[in-house]
Chains A and B, each alone.
Chain A
Amino acid sequence: MAKLTSSTTHGVLLLPLCLLLLHIFSPALSLETTKLRGSCVASERDALLTFKEGINTLHGSLLSSWEGQDCCRWRGVLCSNKTGHVVKLDLRVDPDEFPWASISSNISPSLLTLEHLNYLDLSSNNFGGQQIPKFIGSFKNLKYLSLSDAGFRGSVPPQLGNLTKLLHLDLGGNYYLQLVDLVAWLPHLSSLKHLDMSYVNLSAAVDWVQALSMLPASLRILDLSDCNLNATLASLPLYSSNLTSLVTLYLYDNYFYGPIPDWLLGNMTSLEELWLGGNDLVGMIPETMKNLHKLKVLDLGWNQINGDIAELMERLPHKIQSLYLGGNNLNGSLPNWIDNMTSLSTLDLGYNSLTGSIPSGMGKLNNLSYLDLSYNQLVGMILEDHFTSLTRLEILDLSTNSLTMGVHPNWIPPFKLKKVDLSYCKLGPHFPAWIQSQTNITSLVMSSAGITDKLPNWFWNIISQIQNLDLSLNQISGVLPMTLEFLSTAKSIILHSNKFEGRLPKLPMGLWYLDLSRNYISGPLPLNLGSIELSYLLLLNNLINGTIPSFLCNQLQSLEVLDLSNNHLSGQLPECWTSGNSFRVKNDWRDVGCYLVMANFYNNSLSGKFPLFFRSCQQLSFLDLSYNNFTENLPAWIGTRLPNLVFLLLKSNMFSGYIPIKLSKLDQLQVLDLSHNNLSGTIDPSLLKFKAMTLTSPYTSDLNTLAANIVESIDSNSDPFSLFVITKGQILEYQNDKIFFLLSLDLSGNSLTGEIPKQIGALAGLKNLNLSSNRLIGNIPQTMNGLLSLESLDLSNNELFGEIPPTLSVLTFLSHLNLSYNNLSGRIPSGGQLETFLDPTIYIGNNNLCGPPTSKNCSGNQTTMSDLPEHEDGYDMSSFYLSMGLGFAMGFWMIFGTLLFKRTWRTTYFLFVDDICDRMYVFMVLKWARLNARIKKK
């Protein structure tokens, strides 16, 4: 069985069936008993050894035990107790035992010697993209064949059709199998009871509908999940076929669309499990669903099933046990008669649009073990009644509704939960006392639950089995224990945005995600973190002080995201490998383990040189050292050793010297902020070659996938990842994946000299350019019109001279401009976007600039005019009056002349306005005279 899916339930449910089948095929045999039986047939032993030769056992394999004469004692080999012939070969690899599954160069046809073989299982081996060998079709006695998850590729040999005795065929999980001509072999398997082709791409098998319709009536289990099938459900030959024995039908994760036709399931009255999740089915389930009396499992999750939940539940057969309806568009309220559905053990209605309150009858579903009502619009109180008989409840998810937990503080729940998510339910202000009884809990999520209490003392004791803890976004107070090592199973602890105090505890060995951001964690960091697998360490916005201990160096082997921003850390970063020799022992830098992708030290008081250990952090995509006291030169190796850098923020330090030209090698760099340092020298023309900044839509390109992946990997319940950028004269905060929209170059507040290189125009994707407060001279380059994406341009406080290039007006997205305090001169160009900058202060401090919006008039020739004549607003008064007069004459004679010469119009007109005609005439003459007088006066 190829169940690689998240729905482990599938596997669990199939298990009893498989055991049953095994029982049928290998009567009264087991590996233990084989050992007691007689020796094997020599020819068969030789065949097995030949087969073994083709298998790579280098990384361990159960074939390693194939030694000695009696092949019937070998692992996975079973001989008949009557004949001594090998009848069963179970070479399934247990990935826990052999994580590096053996790779076979070829499957030796010598196996054919095993004529009496009726059971062959090669699943979970890795056959490295070979074809399924044709000779498998020659095992005439084969009843059981499993080739699942074995890396087979290419077409399926039609010889499989010769296996007419086959009861069980599993080809699942071979993603690269090409199933084209199914009819050629599948219908010949006339005894099949179990067919599994899950995760095999059937989109090229045009005859799959026909092949399905020819399946034998004996079939009990059919698994076509995730087969890329794209059809209406109505086109499935289920109704017409004779699949009357079908018990389990897996069709989830395909592209089935349209409604579920009411005749569909026809005479499949033996159906017990129907898995249709993850398709595009719409509408309500048909009423005939009720006729499937034996149906126990119905999975319609993540489709577009819509309509009223009560109506849907009325159409379900009474014995339904597992109902997966999450991720649909169901609305309405849960019916009060839900207490009748006492067979229910699984109820998944998350991610719908359910309204109203949860009926208290829910508490009578004494078989319920899994309840998911998350992401609906449910309201009201959750009381003891809702859980009265739920003694078997293990998984409870009521998150993201508007529910309030109103149970008595002394309530002792009847259940022992393993996983609970009550995020965004109102549980507070007190910490829920009933949690104390939940000593089996492995996942506890109570984010944004309105808890403003002190964390009770018992809390850490009851979560001894915890894997996943999230109490974020409450106001829980209390001092964290010195160590959390006793949470030995913990993988993820998220406590951000609370009021926890104390020092950073020593962490559980296996912890890989820790978010304690926005608390009151103080004191220095521990000398030893404790966890060797920590990938995410998020401690931003705390009160941590002292230096960063050298544990960081060891931790770099596992850390991917490190955020220590907004703390009080001081001193130098540890030197890591530089003190010992290990840094340079190996030529391969990757051997020095640093897997950091994000490192954020923003706003501390760290000092020293640019930390040398980053040199081995090839993956580093995001580095923020802003607002610290780092000094000395920027090392040139940033440009070569950190090729994945997308964001480099070094603002407000005391870095000095030149900007290394090698930074231009950072092809993925989108944001470079070197502002407010002591950098000097010129902006070298060859510096401005950042490839990502030349692209107008880098986000859609394949660049920076590493960084994008890591941002996505940050837990959605974690504190949002932020980047602060000064643009448009404001500090803007870009969060999470939004940072990838930003392209910014900020070199302001240094002592840079020389001209702005004309090459700057190549950075067409740049949205923010700030070169202000330097000592730049020369003209503003004409090439600036190449900065097509620019929204904010600040060149203020330099020594730029000459005219403002009119080409700036083509920058249609420019919405913030500051050219103040330079030596610019001439007329401020008009037209385009420049005309929308009406604030004269953006030009202030340039004594020789003139024209609007400044109050200074331009004298002499006005050469610098817009290239967009449609906005010219210079004009000539006399020509206006001349044309006005002409216009009037035209208009007058058009009306008067028409009335004079066109008889019918005249008649009509005069019929309508006869009585006002005289007055109009007087008016006309007066106007005429007045206008004439005005023109003459001119």
Chain B
Amino acid sequence: MASLSLLPFSFVLFLLAASPVISTNSEGEALHALRTKLSDPTNVLQSWDPTLVNPCTWFHVTCDDRNRVIRLDLGNSNISGPLGPELGRLQHLQYLELYRNNFEGKIPEELGNLKNLISMDLYGNHLQGQIPKSFGKLKSLRFLRLNNNKLKGSIPRELASLSNLKVIDLSNNDLCGTIPIDGPFSTFPPQSFENNSRLNGPELQGLVPYDFGC
């Protein structure tokens, strides 16, 4: 009985054993590069050992069945430091959950490379600078929450082309200009944009430049 039930199990084992030979550990290296610049007072990144064949047994990292990183769950972890451009190398990432930490600095342009990203939760950090225009490439994105940071600049019009975007929250930042009204933006509630003192309401296409007042 036991041996029968083992058949699928051993097959998975075989896959597990065989796959590291094929795949390189570039995703593990990317995550490790990110880690080296972070301060992690509560040791949530303790298990991130770059010598392992892949990062799939690292805590807060989830892989798919082909050992590709699909989730990074580090909400509420007391982490501080910059968001490294290395994150852009996690080609298969679907969920980037870094909310309620002390991440600082700019949001790297490279995050626009995460073509499979479904959810990006960076809210509740100290992020500065602009929302990267490259986010217009995140065609799978459904949730984008950048609220409660220190983001400046205007809302990139490229976001209006994200047809899957269901939820956006840019509130409590220092954004300026006007709010797009095209595409998914026709459905977003005003709460998504509140508490940006220099944000001047919906855009007046053709009438006023969208980044007027920035």
Contact = CB atoms under 8 A, between A and B. Distances in A.
Nearest to A568: B3
Contacts of A652: 2, 5-6
Contacts of B118: 836, 838
A584 interface: no
A880 B202 CA distance: 10
A735 interface: yes
A741 B59 contact: yes
Contact of B57 (A653, A732, A886): A732
A287 interface: no
A891 B208 contact: yes
B204 A888 contact: yes
Given A836-B119, A891-B200, A767 B2 contact: no
Given A732-B56, A815-B71, A836-B119, A884 B206 contact: no
Interface stretch (A271-279, A321-329, A409-417, A867-875): A867-875
Contact of A871 (B16, B97, B167): B167
Contacts of A911: none
A252 interface: no
A812 interface: yes
Given A652-B2, A833-B97, A872-B191, A815 B73 contact: yes
A498 interface: no
Given A699-B46, A734-B57, A814-B73, A888 B145 contact: no
B133 interface: no
Interface string B167-187: 101010000001101000000
A892 B201 CA distance: 10
Nearest to B8: A731
Contacts, number: 138
B12 A731 contact: yes
Given A605-B2, A731-B12, A873-B166, A880 B73 contact: no
A731 B206 CA distance: 56
Interface string A439-453: 000000000000000
A883 B199 CA distance: 13
A733 B189 CA distance: 45
A216 to B, nearest CB: 52
A840 to B, nearest CB: 14
B38 interface: no
A13 interface: no
A895 B3 contact: no
A816 B74 CA distance: 14
Nearest to B172: A870
B207 A923 contact: yes
Contact of B43 (A700, A836, A838, A870): A700
Contacts of A813: 59-60, 73-75
Contacts of A920: 207
A871 B166 CA distance: 11
A406 interface: no
A60 interface: no
Nearest to A700: B43
Contacts of A884: 181, 190, 201-202
B49 interface: yes
Interface in B113-134: 118-119, 121, 123
A376 interface: no
B47 A741 contact: yes
- Chain A interface extent, by class: 35 or more
A791 B6 contact: no
Interface in B38-77: 42-43, 46-47, 49, 52, 56-57, 59-60, 62-63, 65, 71, 73-77
B21 interface: no
A875 B59 contact: no
A936 B95 CA distance: 42
Nearest to A727: B57
Contact of B97 (A836, A892, A927): A836
A924 interface: yes
B16 A891 contact: no
Given A836-B95, A880-B190, A920-B207, A891 B201 contact: yes
Interface residues of B, number: 59
A495 B56 CA distance: 29
Nearest to B178: A891
B176 to A, nearest CB: 12
Contacts of B22: none
Contacts of A890: 200-201
Contact of B204 (A627, A741, A835, A891): A891
Contacts of B167: 871, 873
B106 interface: no
B142 A838 contact: yes
Given A700-B43, A732-B56, A791-B73, A629 B204 contact: no
Interface in A849-894: 870-873, 875-876, 879-880, 883-884, 886-888, 890-892, 894
A164 interface: no
A489 interface: no
A603 interface: yes
B46 A733 contact: no
A738 B207 contact: no
A728 interface: yes
Nearest to B3: A605
A738 B52 contact: yes
B149 interface: no
Contacts of B169: 870-871
A697 interface: yes
A875 B60 contact: no
Given A812-B75, A875-B191, A835 B143 contact: yes
B214 interface: no
A601 to B, nearest CB: 12
A378 B177 CA distance: 59
Contact of A603 (B6, B46, B49, B74): B6
Contacts of A732: 56-57
B57 A733 contact: yes
Interface in A886-920: 886-888, 890-892, 894-895, 920
Interface in B125-166: 142-143, 145, 147-148, 166
Interface string A919-934: 0100110010000000
A244 interface: no
Contact of A735 (B52, B63, B171, B208): B52
B60 A791 contact: yes
A700 B179 CA distance: 49
A894 B200 contact: yes
Contact of A730 (B52, B63, B95): B63
B1 interface: yes
A225 interface: no
B46 A741 contact: yes
Contacts of A738: 47, 49, 52, 57
A401 interface: no
Given A833-B75, A833-B97, A835-B143, A887 B60 contact: no
A835 B97 CA distance: 11
Interface string A560-571: 000000000000
Interface of A: 603, 605, 627-629, 652-653, 676, 697, 699-700, 724, 728, 730-735, 738, 741, 767, 791, 812-816, 832-833, 835-836, 838, 870-873, 875-876, 879-880, 883-884, 886-888, 890-892, 894-895, 920, 923-924, 927
Given A627-B5, A697-B43, A816-B62, 18 more contacts: A603-B2, A652-B6, A676-B5, A724-B13, A730-B65, A738-B47, A738-B57, A741-B47, A791-B59, A812-B76, A813-B73, A815-B62, A870-B147, A884-B201, A887-B201, A887-B202, A888-B201, A888-B202
Can you list the 3 inter-chain pairs with the closest CB atoms, starting with the nearest? A887-B201, A875-B189, A812-B75
27 contacts: A603-B2, A627-B9, A629-B2, A653-B2, A730-B56, A767-B59, A815-B62, A816-B62, A833-B97, A836-B71, A836-B121, A870-B145, A870-B147, A870-B148, A873-B166, A873-B167, A875-B189, A879-B190, A880-B190, A884-B181, A887-B202, A888-B202, A891-B178, A891-B201, A891-B204, A891-B208, A923-B206
